[in-house]
Structure 1
Amino acid sequence: MYQIKLSRAALHEPVRGAWCRVCESCYVSREGYFDHKGTIRDHTSDFIALRRKTVDKQHLETSRLDKRLTKLTQVLTDPAAAETLNIQQSTASKMWPVNLNGLRNQRKLLEQSVVTWEDDAKVPTCPFCKQTFTNFSLRKHHCRLCGRVVCGDTRTACSKEVGLNVNVNVTNGNALTEKMGELALDVRICRECSGILFNKRDFIAEVSRKPPDQKSYETMVQFEKGIVSMLPRFQKLLATLQDPNKPPTPQQRSEASKTRKRLLDTFTQYDIAAKRIVNMPTDSPTQKQLQTAIYMYSVEFLQTHMLPLKALPKILKQTKSGSKHNGHHKSLTSVSQASIMDDNSSVVSSNPEADAEEKLLKEQLAVLQEQKFLVGEMIASAKTNRKFEEVGALAQSLTELDKEIEKVEGQIKDFEKRNPVW
């Protein structure tokens, strides 16, 4: 049963109409039934107009302080002022206390030419921390950009000396300016001016900076993309080598071996990047869990995609034995010569393949053992945190890993029996 408000003309009237029973089609077809967005009132223009005042004021203040800082560095690195300071330093051995005060007064006058300093006598307390100034424990300092009197307490950080590296422009052949090159200046800036000047720059630098774990993860992803892009080509080469109707050529065998070696090197780099992530020191349990999850994913990726690499040495041996069998129907002289050449080539070429297969098995065993160690640590952590519902699943995974380790160890023993070291 459906009800809507209708007018006397049996039309939908949601304001002045009377409630009436209607069918489903009339109820659904009324105006506004399929409107899901609702009423929209855009306040963006009002918000932008209000925010523009604050943003413009902040931008003007930043530009003003930036110009003052630029002017201050230009004044302090002026060659004429530097030459005056150099002359006073050369005569400091004769009248050291007087010349030291002269150096301070000289720089003070240069700094006061940029902005007018506030009178010391009119400011009894720090405007930020409200501490009372004293002659020894809490001295008065002036901000070089706004001129206000502030304290230099390191606990409150009301003001601090900011180190700046200023490049001096060489305008002539003066030897003094050529030797200066880059000057290191310490400029005292209050907390408010420092925030206005450097907060946005620090934020941009912080956003653009990548932590070490992110860099390592991006490197691992790049190796993974390279592996995924090379695997189809390698599988195509394997299919070509396994074709019984068309024996592979030496060029195809060589290309397959080179592709396999390139894949093995990429897998090694991928495993190194994953281990670098899991071994990064951290105090956060969430970060440690994330690093462990990334490493477990890398182990699973290696186990899944390294299986085709194990088949290549066997395929190459089969193709070589097949070529020997086909050449058996030739003359006795050619057969003996071919057998000698095949034996020599097998001695030369079977060793690298056997070494590669043995290396692959040992790498797989090392990965499984490391995975077993991580699962054991996760079981101990779950028992410590009394997460007994996770212990059962982890114990089952540990049992499966033990079986896989026994299987790989058996393969290594069989390989050593088939390929004894003389």
Structure 2
Amino acid sequence: MCRKRPKPRQFFLFNDILVYGNIIINKKKYNKQHIIPLEEVKLESLEDDGQLRNGWLIKTASKSFAVYAATSTEKQEWMAHINKCIEDLLRKSGKKAIEDHAAVWVPDSEALVCMHCNKNQFTVINRRHHCRKCGAVVCGPCSNKKFRLPNQSSKPLRVCLNCYDILSKAKNQSNYQNNISSKPGN
């Protein structure tokens, strides 16, 4: 599920990576392949909602998105196989599962007005923006701040005002605690 509409993708599961891409010619040529290391993946089942059925979230530190299978059985098999590969990989490597994942973006079609102020209606001039921290669809004034999210980019990214306030407070508190613990006598 892309932010604008559902798009078909072909997935390939290996014991340490998940690869997905666009189908180009009769399912024989693949373009724009994306590789996801399985040690970063967390799966979350989605409830069926109208025409969107048999879905689950694939969450990683840098990108998260919804996937929908043709049948309930296919969904269960994919989730079971991916989870088994993740468990085996983490057990063999001794690593811990990543806990901080990128937000799943709310599809554009689900927001006719800004999800932050509930006032600004989206038009050709008043564009939709996605908060990179929570995934909400917001207007320009409600997302005019940027914050560095190290798992997603080395540059500061667009975030909504709510997330900016939360992230700023957490950063200030962390800096304050670091300053206290680094003073002599502590």
Greater relative contact order structure (CA < 8 Å, 6+ sep) = 2
- State which structure, 1 or 2, has the greater radius of gyration over its C-alpha atoms: 1
> Would the TM-score normalized by the shorter structure come out above 0.5?
no
Q: TM-score, with normalisation over the residues of structure 1?
A: 0.17
Q: TM-score, with normalisation over the residues of structure 2?
A: 0.35
